[in-house]
């Protein structure tokens, strides 16, 4: 009998994702048992501060990585959009899943009547509407299209955010389509935002399974259960761009790649939080060199003004120190 321990956060979405991986692993058979190890991350504990001020992408990953390194878990399941471009030493991304819908979605209060059809996805939002999001990336792109909107910080898990919306704190909120669908909330999606309006975060819609680099046996099982090469190829290009621009949650950065045949198309942007400046680009390249494509587009964006925007964002935002034990 072989036992595997999955490290996971305790939110409903994280547990759905971990149980999904658990079921796929157990389907391999061969006397394999899988259990969940629920771990609190810093991002789960600090809910009253914007993500950019708390420290960035590692907020939902660091404690899970520490559990792997202490041998308290054998693998960790992450939303790929939460995974920093650099992993902790001794760890590796063993598998990247097939990608769900990578788009962002507008969610409206239950009491609001259904929006009429319009060519403008943001048409249902009245002038000055209060829109909740925890993402500078989403804020930047919303304000670039609709500078009249009042974009307000929104933290908490999916259900908490939806409850705040229905309680009247916001006129709409923006969430990932994949998370809403996984939790059975697809009916709450008011408008799926096209990629031309809201380009997603690197890795959005995909799951990543992290293991110890030296644990070849667990890696092999994870690959057999979860790995999708097409999804991984696209995510590798996006993460290569993220690494090159040294992006986290302190600046609006978006990247999305699609594989068609043997060619990858990568689109990305870097912008200012107020949406007044957006540097956007697109490149195509062979599927067997996703990192090269990501680096090339990153270098192009940096040369066209993204470097200045990023420097200003990092200078303006000073992350809070970790809380004392």
| Cα separations in angstroms, 17 against 31, 116, 165, 208 | 22, 34, 24, 10
- Contacts (Cβ under 8 Å, ≥6 apart) of 191: 105, 106, 115, 121, 122, 124
All residues at 6 or more sequence positions from 199 whose CB lies less than 8 Å from its CB, including other chains: 137, 141, 254, 255, 256, 267, 268, 269, 280
Pair 64, 8: CB distance under 8 Å: yes
148 is annotated as an active-site residue: no
* 320 contacts: CB under 8 Å, gap ≥ 6: 46, 49, 53, 54, 55
Q: What residues contact 10, with CB distance under 8 A and at least 6 apart?
A: 38, 39, 40, 44
**Catalytic residue of the set 48, 71, 82, 148:** 82
Short-list 208, 186, 205, CA closest to 195: 205
Say if residues 303 and 277 touch (Cβ distance below 8 Å).
Answer: no
C-alpha 50/C-alpha 134 separation (Å) is: 6
The span from the CA of 219 to the CA of 182, in Å, is 25
Q: How far is residue 304 from each of residues 142, 278, 309, measured CA to CA in Å? A: 22, 10, 10
How do beta strands 2-8 and 75-79 pair? parallel
**C-alpha to C-alpha distance for 205 and 101, rounded to whole angstroms:** 6
Residues identified as active-site: 82
């Amino acid at each position: 009998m072989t036992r595997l321990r999955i490290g996971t956060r305790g939110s409903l979405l994280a547990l759905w994702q971990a149980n999904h991986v658990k079921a796929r692993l157990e389907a391999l058979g061969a006397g394999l048992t899988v259990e969940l190890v629920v771990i609190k991350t810093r991002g789960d504990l600090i809910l009253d501060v914007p993500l950019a001020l708390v420290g960035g992408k590692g907020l939902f990953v660091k404690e899970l990585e520490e559990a792997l390194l202490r041998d308290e878990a054998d693998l960790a399941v992450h939303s790929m959009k939460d995974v920093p471009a650099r992993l902790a030493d001794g760890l590796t991304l063993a598998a990247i899943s097939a990608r769900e819908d990578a788009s962002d979605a507008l969610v409206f209060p239950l009491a609001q009547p259904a929006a009429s059809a319009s060519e403008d996805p943001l048409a249902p939002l009245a002038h000055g509407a209060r829109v909740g999001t925890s993402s500078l990336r989403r804020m930047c792109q919303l304000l670039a299209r609709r500078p009249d909107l009042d974009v307000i910080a929104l933290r908490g898990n999916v259900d908490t955010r939806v409850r705040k919306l229905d309680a009247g704190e916001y006129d709409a909120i923006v969430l990932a389509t994949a998370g809403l669908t996984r939790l059975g909330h697809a009916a709450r999606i008011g408008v799926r935002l096209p990629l031309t309006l809201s380009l997603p975060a690197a890795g959005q819609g995909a799951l990543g399974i992290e293991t110890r680099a030296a644990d070849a046996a667990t890696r092999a099982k994870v690959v057999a259960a979860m790995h999708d090469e097409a999804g991984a190829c696209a995510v590798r290009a996006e993460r290569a761009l993220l690494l090159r621009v040294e992006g986290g949650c302190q600046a609006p950065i978006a990247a999305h790649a699609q594989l068609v045949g043997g060619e990858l198309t990568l689109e990305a942007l870097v912008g200012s939080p107020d949406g007044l400046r957006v540097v956007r680009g697109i490149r195509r390249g062979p599927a067997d060199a996703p990192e090269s494509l990501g680096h090339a587009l990153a270098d192009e964006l940096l040369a066209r003004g993204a470097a200045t925007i990023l420097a200003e964002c990092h200078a303006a935002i000073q992350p809070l120190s970790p809380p004392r034990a």
